[in-house]
Amino acid sequence: MPSFLISHQAPAFLIKLKYPKKIDLVAICIGTIIPDLNLFSSILNRNFTHSFIGIIIVTVPLTIFLSIMFIKYLSPLISWISVQKYFILKPLRFFGLDDLKYLKLQLNKKFFLIASYSALLGGLAHILLDMPSHPHIQFFYPIIIEVPILIENINLYFGSITIFNIQITFEIMLYSLIRRIWDLVLIPITLYFLRYIKKHNLIQKWNSYDEAIH
């Protein structure tokens, strides 16, 4: 599983917890993923999907569509799978995926408004998280900004070993190391938020409001 599917959710959960009635949980979480869809399709250009204009043109409308599809079709399926009594599925219940059945969908003006700016926030959060760990900043596309050459070109060398005449070298670019550190920091935070939401039955509570987004 690509790490961004988990690590980039951390700020999305934090914002939702801070403003539970003003943020669409599904939209902001999906919004943090959309900029990296270029990894799955050569049609999408990374420079474009990681820009402000890309967020407006691609991330927001695609997030709204996927949010609707997720709530209508995927969330009931994931919830059903999660409650099956198999040991391997226990982590899904532990992190609250069985509670996805409580998600509600109301296709009204309020939904589209809140989902739109939630998707926008999710996309912006993704780009901000990427900035320290990538050699280029595409936010102002078509203008591409290179990070300081010192960061872009530093290659950290940790030595090498030889096994059966095969030499294995341990080295990594600095920005790649920063990316791995980001993942190590953010993934546990995301999992903590998932568990926190589960323990406090927040998905059920958020969706029981009269003015619920879903």
In the chain, where do the E strands start and end? Answer: 136-137, 145-146, 155-163, 166-173
Q: Identify the residue with better confidence: 118 or 105.
A: 118
Instruction: Reply yes or no on whether the pLDDT at 23 is more than 50.
Output: yes
pLDDT at 24: 96
Instruction: Write down the pLDDT at residue 132.
Output: 72
On whether residue 65 sits in a domain, the answer given is yes
State pTM to two decimals: 0.82
Say what the pLDDT of residue 212 is: 44
Domain assignment present for residue 105? The answer is: yes
Note whether residue 163 is domain-resident: no
Are 106 and 24 in contact by the 8 Å Cβ rule? The answer is no
Tell me 99's DSSP state: G
Looking at this protein, which amino acid is placed at residue 79?
S
Q: Which amino acid is at 150?
A: L
Range with lowest mean pLDDT among 27-41, 116-130, 151-165: 151-165
Q: What confidence score (pLDDT) does residue 172 get?
A: 66
Q: Which domain holds residue 112?
A: 4-146+175-206
Query: Does residue 142 fall inside a structural domain?
Result: yes
* Domain count across the chain: 1
Q: Each residue of 50-89: pLDDT tens digit?
A: 889 999 999 999 999 999 999 999 999 999 999 998 999 9
In a domain, 71, yes or no: yes
Query: Pairing state of beta strands 145-146 and 166-173?
Result: unpaired
Question: Which DSSP helix (H) or strand (E) runs through 61?
Answer: helix 60-69
Pairwise CA distance, residues 57 & 37, whole Å: 14
Examine residue 199 and state whether it is found in any structural domain, yes or no: yes
CA distance 167 to 173: 19
Is residue 211, in this structure, part of any structural domain at all? no
With respect to residue 68, please indicate whether it lies within any of the assigned structural domains. yes
Lowest pLDDT segment from 34-43, 96-105, 143-152, 204-213: 143-152
Q: What is the DSSP string of 19-59?
A: STTTS-HHHHHHHTTGGGGGGT-TTS-HHHHTSHHHIIIII
pLDDT digits (tens, 9 = 90+) for 123-164: 999 988 887 777 677 777 877 676 655 455 666 666 667 677
Average pLDDT, rounded, for the chain = 84
